[in-house]
Amino acid sequence: MRRYLIAGNWKMNCGPGRTSELLQGIKELSPQIPEAVDVLVCPPEISLTTASEVLNDYDVYLGAQNVHYEDEGAFTGEVSTGMLKEVGCSYVIIGHSERREYFGETDKTVNAKVIKALLDDLKPVLCVGESLAQRKKEVHKKMVKKQVQAALNSVKENNVSDVVIAYEPIWAIGTGETATPEQAQEMHEMIRSVLSELYDEDAADAIRILYGGSMKPHNAEELLSQPDVDGGLIGGASLKADSFTDIINIAEKLS
């Protein structure tokens, strides 16, 4: 049985001050995180230490938005898995479409980062998703399948259950346009079938597949009700304590 994972990707929002306020707001609205739901927040790197201090023993996981695949060295502007663990991260988002589009992330670097994260006990939240043009050309399934296969190349069955996949159609990110529940389920089901080609049935079944792309309190219930939608990777709505906790509560109700 997969547990819902409700994850906030704060992107380039919230320095340490705002991070502290937002997390305090979430704590006030939801002093007790529902037992059936896992909750993750991914602030910008500069705010991770503050987030870790504010979260303290609050039952919310901390994650980063990117990581390098080397341990250390001359990689200006980058951070390593060790550094992220040192400040309390247990998850890391890898291969978000914004990193692929603006920062030259490729299937190859995504794969190297997934492998490195797993090796160092960080759970990768691997992002995949098609552009509008790809969907219009009806190559979206093929593209996403290729992204999943490439990202998981050489990832062994014994640690693949630590991988979380986030299906994020690029045309739905920050646009207010959401995939319909049927479109999301169709893609999630396809991704799970790719996983069962790569791994045995139990392993494929254990992997959580999140939906991302304008998930909000008003559409979360119908999306999260789909059998292969195991949570959300939430951008805009994770930046407000009330909308984020509303989605957490919807996941609890459905659990």
**CB nearer to ligand G3H: pick between 214 and 245:** 214
Instruction: Report CA 39 to chain centroid distance, whole Å.
Output: 11
Q: Which residues bind ligand G3H (CB under 6 A)?
A: 9, 96, 168, 173-174, 212-215, 233-237
Active site residue 68: no
State how beta strands 164-167 and 208-211 pair. parallel
Active site residue 35: no
Give the pair of three-digit tokens for residue 196. Answer: 């069962």
d(CA 223, CA 229): 7
What DSSP assignment string belongs to 124-189?
Answer: EEEEE---HHHHHTT-HHHHHHHHHHHHTTT--GGGGGG-EEEE--GGGTTSS----HHHHHHHHH
Residue 9 assigned as binding residue: yes
CB neighbours of 177 closer than 8 A, spacing ≥ 6?
Answer: 171, 213, 214
Smallest separation (angstroms) from ligand G3H to the CB of 17: 22
Smallest separation (angstroms) from ligand G3H to the CB of 100: 12
The residue sitting closest to ligand G3H, measured at its beta carbon, is 235
Catalytic residue among 68, 96, 140, 188: 96
**CB nearer to ligand G3H: pick between 7 and 155:** 7
Smallest separation (angstroms) from ligand G3H to the CB of 212: 4
Residue 129 assigned as binding residue: no
**CB nearer to ligand G3H: pick between 63 and 212:** 212
Instruction: Give pairs for 84-88: CB < 8 Å, separation 24+.
Output: 84/48, 84/122, 85/120, 85/121, 85/122, 87/48, 87/49, 87/52, 87/62, 88/48, 88/51, 88/52, 88/55, 88/62
Smallest separation (angstroms) from ligand G3H to the CB of 133: 18
Give strand pairing partners of 126.
94, 165
Residue 235 assigned as binding residue: yes
**CB nearer to ligand G3H: pick between 191 and 233:** 233
Residue 253 assigned as binding residue: no
Residue 10 assigned as binding residue: yes
Catalytic residue among 45, 68, 168, 188: 168
Annotated binding site: 9-11, 174, 214, 235-236
- Catalytic positions, please? 96, 168
Provide the annotated binding site for substrate. Answer: 9-11, 174, 214, 235-236
